[in-house]
Amino acid sequence: MTQQMLTRRQMLKLLLASGSTAALAACGAATTTQTPTSPPANDEAETGAPAVVSEPGSTVNITYWGSFSGNLGEAEQAMVSSFNAAQSDVVVDYQFQGNYEETAQKFTAGLQANTIPDVILLSDVWWFSFYVAGMISQLDSLAQAEGVDFSDYEPALLNEGVRQGKHFWIPFARSTPLFYYNKEIWAEVGLPDRAPETWAEFEEWAPQLIEREGTTMRRAAYVHPNGASYIAWLFQPVVWQHGGQYSTDDFTMTMTDSDTLRAAQFFQDSARSNGWATLVPDINTDFIGGTAASMMASTGSLAGLTSNAPFDVGVGFLPKETNFGCCTGGAGLAIPSGAPAEKQQAAMKFIAFVTNVEQAGVWARNTGYMPVRISTKATPDMVNFFNENPNFKTAVDQLPLTQAQDAARVFVRNGDQIIGKGLERIIINGEDPSTVFTDVNAELTRVAEPILEDLREVEG
Amino acid sequence: MPSPRERHEWLLFVLLIGPNLALFAVFTYWPLIYNFYLSFVRWNFLRPTKPFVGLDNYANVFSSAQFWTIVTNTFVFAFFSVGLTLIIGLALALLINQPLRYRNTARAVLFSPVIMSGAVVAVVWSYIFDPRYGLIDQFLRPLGIASPNWLSDPAWAMPAVIIVYVWKNLGYAVVIYLAGLQGIPRELYEAARVDGAGPWARFWHVTLPGLSPIAFFLSVTSVLATFQAFDIIKVLTDGGPVISTTTLIYHLYTLGFVSYDAGQAGVVAVVLFMIMLVLTIIQIRYLEQRVNYG
Amino acid sequence: MTVRDETILARPVVTKANKGLLHVQRFFGYLAMALAIFLVGLPVYWTIIAAFKESAEIYRIPPTWVPLNPTFENFSRAWNAAPFGRYYINSFITTLGGTLAKVLLAVLSAYALAFLRFPRKDLVFLVLLAGLMIPPEITIVPNYLTVGRLGWINTYAGIIIPSAAVAYGTFLLRQAFLALPFEVIEAARVDGAGHVRILLSIVIPMSQPAIVTMALLALVARWNDFLWPLLVTHTSDMRTLPIGIFWLRNSEGVINWGVVMAGSLFLIVPVLLVFLWLQRYIVEGIAAGAVKG
């Protein structure tokens, strides 16, 4: 009955939430750096590593559960192989466990039956649940032992996984939203070859981008995903741009603040009274098919869109409203608690390796995820890659301007869907934003309550 | 007092059915009982403790404004899916159950969606439904009709899900009906013909009664299957737009595996089970009495 | 095949009066077949041709009805993306094991329910039917714990046994057994035939279409099952075919539909062949039943 859960839509969700795509490979020669067998000699993670598990002849075998399959899986496997080849203390076994949701489900079930991995990939909306339940380890002492230099990690990405000054979730496969436009349509209607600076500017452009046939819109200026394809992730930056937010850091829900409502009204008008946007389950297909001229989507879709679209794909920073706003997404690595110290240390060694300056670049170039290390951007391979893929450069340039999402979406279990379904009511049913968000606010508050209780227990 | 022969038969009965029931007890009923227990506690699948909360979960589920829409959706989906599958399936089976050329080809084609995974089917149909370049639009456009926005319009999403579900399961009903039709002893037709019965009389007095055990089986299992239909809804609409295609089983899934609220998911599991149990008992009471076991 | 159909199904007595009617009836039969083949077959055709299209063509508007540059590349790309050979072996083992267990349990249970006396048999029947009312979604977590306690995680037993119990097939076979001509069984009993002989020489041969149908449906369910095998296996060497298809979905930022559809055909074609082969037995079973009856 529930076979084959990963569908195109979920696939998309995965992409939107995470970003993926090995097809960046198709864009440039730089991807031949798939052979990172050279030992990471000048990486601080290796040089400073005390030999905790390196008694001669003893090899620690650890299991790594991840959500990467297909080309991403190959890239991940290559990374694991190069780790295994680069040192002899630890052998990592990478096992694909399904998409993010299924990986988290398996981890949950595994915790009950005591069949858990030593390293696990958890998405932005998952890691916090395991943290609150005390199921993932605090990594600072382990990282220190491996000589990990946290100051070189992109702070926007790293700090999300920090609670009370301690690191629990290390950024690995991270993405952000990006504004995509169809250069061919842009040229056809005579727009400048760039993303709109502001939403007001885009609203001026929109009428020219639309194409109608009777009552059917044959081409929309812009396309929204639905709740299941993570509209709440893409609405997050729009709320910030309007000066609002989903919630405050202490889990006070702010869905009914006037600026949040203003953003909701903007989304409603885009699809209804102003009529330049549509809402579909699969935005990438509409964009590639030319039935939508632009969209916000994950940086992770960049390579796939570039190689599949029969036109030139343009990208830009998200448009501003009152101010600029952009959020992060994707997945990071965690170490389950309860494992023997030796295994935990081995797991940290692996995490340090895959997020070192060189490997972060290999991974970003092979997959399209953001480089998680600051100094990676200056490496020659990366500079070459940027020159050949200016769109990817744009995506990376936007990264320092991003911030972590509001608690309502990532820390409240199902918060993403509660907000997403609310937006569907506003956009599809045309219901009054303040009525809908009053409901959403109440529901988020109710669901957040037990989480707060747990949090107080964990953090005091 | 049962006779020794009767007792021997009882023992044999237990031996034959025992292994099956034992497997059910462990892997099906135990989870149900466990869910019943969970419906009275608060648990997120991760906490070490499961505090008892009385009827709180029930109150939360039943007081939600969405819940009754979801129940309605469930019944609408089940009614139309089962009704259309059983009626169209019977008509097709009767028409095909003749000495026709390519009969087996037709049956194979009809059955092919049954063996395809629901997820693959739903993916293909999401293309077919697309209002701008889907297959349906290709056929409607020459007629000057604008394709509805099947999957994005709350009014059309449920019909779309029902169409796909019927499409996928129709062949199954046809094959089951055909197996039933072919199991009707031909002597009965001969006898009826000798008695001067026309085609209609033969249909009413031979075909339908002969088919009734299988039709009863189909109606019960189809109803139970639609109440648990999950993957097509998951892939095609994700329960949306808004909640227009959210059924109880989808709700259960969301509560369990998205919200990780074991208590509320347990409540929906219990509710779903009770609804199906009541429907099945009604069917057994009123339908099986009329079933003709030749 | 058609010849056999004719001999089995053609009504031997054809009077002039109903000959015309027969023609009308056949006309509608062909019409229904044509319509069914078109409505059901078109989306199936759509799935198949997508596997032979290049990825740009799949996104073309309007869509193409015949692949412009038919290619097998999707198939080789799909095959190389995951250890499909190993997945096939695992799928064969778990599907065959699971189906055999189900057929055996169903035949035995249905025989007991249909022909043996037992106090409150209707209740036993309802208890079994209740198995159909428990959605697999709710069994996942408790069963994982049970399987974990049994030490069956990442084993064939762990994949097969939790779903070996059979309510649906028992029900189908009970219905089929009950529909058998009672006199034949009674006559055999009078002749001194025991349960084993009645089951093997009368009930099973005469219910062959139902048993084959039941086996086929069980086989399809096992073959396509995804969530449970994914949950209960941890390593690539224990994984089954649907999980392999899953690998393909995640290949690029935009899904390569051709590859996914090609992979889906890996999954669909074997069961389709099994069905085409088995449907002969459904027909032959009827012939056998007709002779005996």
Domains of chain A, start order: 8-20+28-175+330-388 (3.40.190.10), 177-326+404-459 (3.40.190.10)
Element (H, E) at A251: none
Question: Does residue C99 form part of some domain?
Answer: yes
* pLDDT given for residue C17 in this prediction: 56
pLDDT for C39 beyond 90: no
Rounded CA gap, B46 and A118, in Å?
18
User: Model's pTM, two decimal places?
Assistant: 0.84
Q: What is the largest CA-CA distance in chain B?
A: 77
What six digits make up the tokens of B161? 């899900």
Question: With contacts defined as CB-CB under 8 Å, which chain A residues touch B65?
Answer: 439
User: Residue B242's domain is classified under what CATH number?
Assistant: 1.10.3720.10
Question: Does residue C235 form part of some domain?
Answer: yes
pLDDT for A24 beyond 60: no
* pLDDT given for residue A238 in this prediction: 96
The region of weakest confidence among A56-60, A440-444, C30-34, C114-118 is: A56-60
Question: Does residue B183 form part of some domain?
Answer: yes
Overall average pLDDT of the A106-119 stretch: 88
Number of residues written out for chain B:
294
Instruction: Answer yes or no: are the C-beta atoms of C145 and C130 closer than 8 Å.
Output: no
* Among chain A residues, CA nearest to B43: A450
B14: distance to nearest CA of chain A, Å? 30
Is the Cβ of A290 closer than 8 Å to some Cβ of chain C?
A: yes
| Dihedral in degrees, nearest 10, Cα atoms B265, B269, B272, B275 | -130
Output phi, psi for B292, to 5 deg.
Answer: -100, 110
* Partner-chain contact A96 C231, CB within 8 Å: no
C5: distance to nearest CA of chain B, Å? 6
Is the Cβ of B169 closer than 8 Å to some Cβ of chain A?
A: no
Which chains have at least 3 CB atom pairs separated by less than 8 Å from chain A? B, C
Q: How far is CA A342 from CA A9, A55, A349, B24, in A?
A: 40, 11, 11, 42
Q: How far is CA A350 from CA A80, A172, A353, A410, B206, in A?
A: 8, 12, 5, 26, 73
pLDDT for A324 beyond 90: yes
Overall average pLDDT of the A393-404 stretch: 91
What six digits make up the tokens of B64? 């939600």
Q: How far is CA B73 from CA A1, A339, B161, in A?
A: 19, 46, 11
* pLDDT given for residue B193 in this prediction: 83
C16-50 vs C257-292: helix axis angle to the nearest 10?
150
Residue C169 makes CB contacts below 8 A (sequence gap 6+) with C102, C103, C105, C106, C110, C214, C215, C217, C218
User: Residue C285's domain is classified under what CATH number?
Assistant: 1.10.3720.10
More confident residue, C75 or C226: C75
Domain that holds residue C98: 75-292
Rounded CA gap, A122 and A139, in Å?
15
| Dihedral in degrees, nearest 10, Cα atoms B241, B247, B253, B254 | 40
Closest by Cβ to B46, choosing from A6, A8, A129:
A129
**Number of neighbouring beta carbons within 10 Å of residue A330:** 28
What six digits make up the tokens of B291? 């079933």
Rounded CA gap, A60 and A345, in Å?
10
Q: How far is CA A275 from CA A120, A315, A320, A381, in A?
A: 44, 23, 20, 44
Is the Cβ of A281 closer than 8 Å to some Cβ of chain C?
A: no
Question: Does residue C54 form part of some domain?
Answer: no
What six digits make up the tokens of B221? 């299992």
| pLDDT tens profile C146-168 | 998 898 988 999 999 999 999 98
Question: Does residue B30 form part of some domain?
Answer: no
**Residue A52 confidence class, pLDDT cut points 50, 70, 90:** very low
Beta strands in A9-114 (DSSP E): 60-66, 90-96
pLDDT for A18 beyond 70: no
**Residue A75 confidence class, pLDDT cut points 50, 70, 90:** confident
Question: Does residue C105 form part of some domain?
Answer: yes
Question: Does residue B242 form part of some domain?
Answer: yes
More confident residue, B132 or A85: A85
* Partner-chain contact A70 C225, CB within 8 Å: no
Average pLDDT per block of 10 residues along chain B, 294 residues long: 81 93 93 93 86 92 90 96 94 84 82 83 81 77 81 91 94 84 79 83 84 84 90 85 92 85 92 91 78 61
Domain that holds residue B173: 65-287
* Among chain B residues, CA nearest to A285: B127
B236: distance to nearest CA of chain A, Å? 8
| Complex confidence, ipTM | 0.81
Rounded CA gap, B132 and C61, in Å?
9
* pLDDT given for residue B256 in this prediction: 85
Question: Does residue B38 form part of some domain?
Answer: no
Question: Does residue C158 form part of some domain?
Answer: yes
- Side chain identity at residue B282, one-letter code: I
Rounded CA gap, C249 and C257, in Å?
8
Is the Cβ of B139 closer than 8 Å to some Cβ of chain C?
A: no
pLDDT for A20 beyond 80: no
**A294-298 and A60-66: which strand pairing?**
unpaired
More confident residue, B44 or C107: C107
More confident residue, C55 or A136: A136
pLDDT for C1 beyond 80: no
Is the Cβ of B151 closer than 8 Å to some Cβ of chain A?
A: yes
pLDDT for C32 beyond 50: yes
Nearest to B135 by CA among A291, C51, C63: C63
Question: With contacts defined as CB-CB under 8 Å, which chain A residues touch C81?
Answer: 70, 74
Nearest to A84 by CA among A117, A61, A55, A57: A61
- Side chain identity at residue A106, one-letter code: K
Question: With contacts defined as CB-CB under 8 Å, which chain A residues touch C246?
Answer: 4-6, 69, 98
What six digits make up the tokens of C26? 């056949």
Question: Does residue C280 form part of some domain?
Answer: yes
Residue with tokens 């960049």: A302
Question: Does residue C210 form part of some domain?
Answer: yes
What six digits make up the tokens of A310? 């029969």
Closest by Cβ to B241, choosing from A1, A105, A226:
A226
Question: Does residue B258 form part of some domain?
Answer: yes
Overall average pLDDT of the A161-169 stretch: 94
DSSP state of A319: P
Residues of chain A above pLDDT 90, percent: 61
Rounded CA gap, B193 and B84, in Å?
32
* pLDDT given for residue A385 in this prediction: 94
Overall average pLDDT of the A361-380 stretch: 91
Is the Cβ of C155 closer than 8 Å to some Cβ of chain A?
A: no
Overall average pLDDT of the A149-176 stretch: 93
Q: How far is CA A445 from CA A276, B58, B64, in A?
A: 33, 19, 14
A102: distance to nearest CA of chain B, Å? 9
* pLDDT given for residue C245 in this prediction: 77
A266: distance to nearest CA of chain C, Å? 28
Count of the separate structural domains present in chain C: 1
* Among chain C residues, CA nearest to B217: C172
Residue with tokens 């579909």: A280
Count of the separate structural domains present in chain B: 1
Closest by Cβ to C61, choosing from A95, A289, A302:
A289
Question: With contacts defined as CB-CB under 8 Å, which chain C residues touch A23?
Answer: 252-253
**Number of neighbouring beta carbons within 10 Å of residue C208:** 21
Kindly give the residue spans of alpha helices, DSSP state H, lying in A210-241: 231-241
The listed range with the strongest mean pLDDT (A247-251, B285-289, C104-108, C253-257) is C104-108
